[in-house]
Amino acid sequence: MNPDALAAALLAAIAPLAEARRPGSSAGLTAADFPLERPRNRDHGDWASNAALKLGKVVGVNPREFAQEIADALAATDGVASVEVAGPGFINIRLDAGAAGALAKTIVEAGAAYGTNDTQRGQSINLEFVSANPTGPMHIGHTRWAALGDAIARVLLASGATLVREFYINDAGAQMDRFGRSVLAAIKGEPTPEDGYPGSYIGDLASRVRAELPGILDLSDDEQLVQARDRAYALQLADLQASLEKFNVHFDVFFSERTLHAHGPNGEPSLVDEAVDRLRAQGHVFEQDDAIWVRTTDFGDDKDRVIRRSNGEYTYFAADAAYYLNKSDRGFAHKIYLLGADHHGYVHRLKALAGAAGDDPEKDIEVLIGQLVSVNGARLSKRAGNIIELDDLRDWLGTDALRYSLARYPADSPLTLDPEILTKRTNDNPVFYVQYAHARTHNVARNGADSGVDRSVFAPELLEHETESALLGALQEFPRIVAYAAEVREPHRVARYLEELASLYHRWYDNCRVTPLGDEPVTDLHRTRLWLNDATGQVLRNGLDLLGVSAPERM
């Protein structure tokens, strides 16, 4: 019996009792009104409910008395071994071994689908993260946003959302010309411009551009800059994309900022031009001092924002507005932005923008701010000179250790990684601990097969050992953990769950054998335990996949 089935049984017991006490009091009640919790002390049962405390006053009865009535009714439910009342009216429920153990077969048969849920169904989400400038390599900050953003996307998709992972390419503005001048100077063998980009990667790009465009220096000065800039940009963007893919981070859309400023073939207005008109139509645009403003203070911003300067030039806020409206035009009712620690000022600005566009700032947009991350002993990139590169970190620590560690903490907590721990093959290393548990499930299955243990029999009532009860209880929780992680955008909850599950599995492994000892015959208990072993491996595998981490079968 899974938690949803038990919650439905609880509702079936409560509704007639409440109705008898106060007619009409059960109207509109659903199983979701009575969430079940796992007791910290397993001596108190498998599940606990405070339903009587919530409903006692509503139906006009002492909560403890009402709890006893619910307990008596629920005790008759198939699969429920006992129900006890504790304290002022808590209901502690213990399932019989067969009902609890049946979950193992459910998980094995569900496979990769176990843990998926529909709590986010109907949500159309655009998730923007990383969004690095295409003027240099990915650095350590991008690494954290990449790991977190991708993990958030995975738990949302597992919870039924329609979602697109989007990378906003900052390929417009002065930094692109500085980038182009830096590359062109390297092509010519000249010093890097005073405001240019340092690092040997610029020289590498220059060599690649020269190889692709051998006649670049025969062009006019203006054309040399355009060609150097645009060719180096394309190469650097391809490098960024390759770094992300090697880090197991996939984007569905790479959106170019240039798109927002581009006019149609016949001079049609750009998306930025249209954004001003659309915000004006909402009634939040005004003119002052020959500039065009958006009255964002109407929506909690600390000041109104200039969208077009008096000289006719658009501000960066104009691109933000056009981009936000474009997301809506593409059908995304909900927008999530994952931004770096230096972007706190964008929170009110973007929410105010949503309000000015006619959306609900509290519902249609989320801005998540990620804090800084550092790595003890990390060296600055030899190529870039002033940053710690994603590729260097991945080569040093490994994709799995890096991704797991970055997803293991809330986005808003500063983080320092310890390479000494992350490169250890010991239980001190959290990712090794979880991956080793998964590999151990495969080793148990291989040894079982060598001894003739298969899954030809499933007798869940035999799973009576206390470690089996604890393990099954944790396995039941996985879909809820995934759903909650999606709801609050916190994939670290999956990581912490996996560590607890791994601990329970190792404890079970120490106490319950799948493979017979010596000449001991294979029994139905061995076969049934193989189901539980394989179910645990499946959940560990599913959870690691949500974090973008591999699940090795041997270690």
Q: CA-CA distance, 326 to 162, in Å (whole number)?
A: 17
Residues of the chain with pLDDT > 90: what percent? 82
Contact 463, 472 (CB under 8 A): yes
Q: Among all chains, which residue has been given the structure tokens 């393990």?
A: 471
Res 381 pLDDT > 80: no
Output the pTM of the full model: 0.90
Contact 93, 46 (CB under 8 A): yes
* pLDDT tens figures, 39-76: 877 778 888 999 999 998 888 999 999 999 999 999 99
Q: How many helices (H) and strands (E) does the chain have?
A: 19, 13
Q: CA-CA distance, 362 to 355, in Å (whole number)?
A: 9
Spatial CA neighbour of 10 closest among 62, 55, 71 = 71
Q: Which of 11-25, 114-128, 498-512 is least confident?
A: 11-25
pLDDT at 31: 86
Which runs of E-coded beta strand occur in 349-405?
Answer: 365-369, 373-375
Q: 5 falls in which pLDDT band (50, 70, 90)?
A: confident
Which runs of E-coded beta strand occur in 289-375?
Answer: 291-294, 305-308, 334-339, 365-369, 373-375
Mention every residue, 6+ apart, whose C-beta is less than 8 A from residue 42.
466, 469, 470, 473
* pLDDT tens figures, 211-256: 999 999 999 999 999 999 999 999 999 999 999 999 999 999 999 9
**For the chain, the helix, strand and coil percentages under 3-state DSSP, each to the nearest 5:** 55, 10, 35
Q: CA-CA distance, 62 to 476, in Å (whole number)?
A: 32
For 211, the token pair is: 């190889």
More confident residue, 327 or 31: 327
**In Å, what is the CA distance from 502 to each residue of 434, 445, 498, 513?**
6, 16, 6, 17
Q: CA-CA distance, 188 to 345, in Å (whole number)?
A: 40
Q: Which CATH class is domain 3-95?
A: alpha beta
* pLDDT tens figures, 491-533: 999 999 999 999 999 999 999 999 999 889 999 999 999 999 9
Average pLDDT, the chain: 94
> What values do phi and psi take at 463, rounded to 5?
-85, 75
What kind of fold does domain 424-546 have according to CATH? Answer: Isoleucyl-tRNA Synthetase; Domain 1 (1.10.730)
pLDDT at 380: 67
Q: Which CATH class is domain 124-171+250-373?
A: alpha beta
Establish how many alpha carbons lie within 13 A of residue 8's alpha carbon, considering only the half-sphere containing its beta carbon: 6
Q: CA-CA distance, 496 to 502, in Å (whole number)?
A: 10
Per-residue pLDDT, averaged over 394-414, amounts to 94
pLDDT at 382: 65
Res 340 pLDDT > 90: no
More confident residue, 500 or 372: 500
Per-residue pLDDT, averaged over 156-173, amounts to 96
Domain boundaries of the chain, sorted by first residue: 3-95, 124-171+250-373, 174-246, 424-546
Pairing of strands 305-308, 291-294: antiparallel
For 542, the token pair is: 């599913």
Per-residue pLDDT, averaged over 312-318, amounts to 93
Q: CA-CA distance, 159 to 145, in Å (whole number)?
A: 21
Spatial CA neighbour of 127 closest among 250, 240, 243 = 250
Q: Which of 234-243, 342-351, 425-434, 507-516 is least confident?
A: 342-351
Res 555 pLDDT > 70: yes
More confident residue, 432 or 96: 432
Contact 59, 66 (CB under 8 A): yes
Handedness of CA 129, 135, 141, 144 (dihedral sign): positive
Per-residue pLDDT, averaged over 453-458, amounts to 97
Mention every residue, 6+ apart, whose C-beta is less than 8 A from residue 311.
none
> What values do phi and psi take at 255, rounded to 5?
-100, 120
The secondary structure of residue 465, as a DSSP letter, is S
Q: 104 falls in which pLDDT band (50, 70, 90)?
A: very high
Mention every residue, 6+ apart, whose C-beta is less than 8 A from residue 449.
none
Res 417 pLDDT > 80: yes
For 196, the token pair is: 């240019």
Q: 387 falls in which pLDDT band (50, 70, 90)?
A: confident
Which residue(s) pair with 365 in the sheet? 335
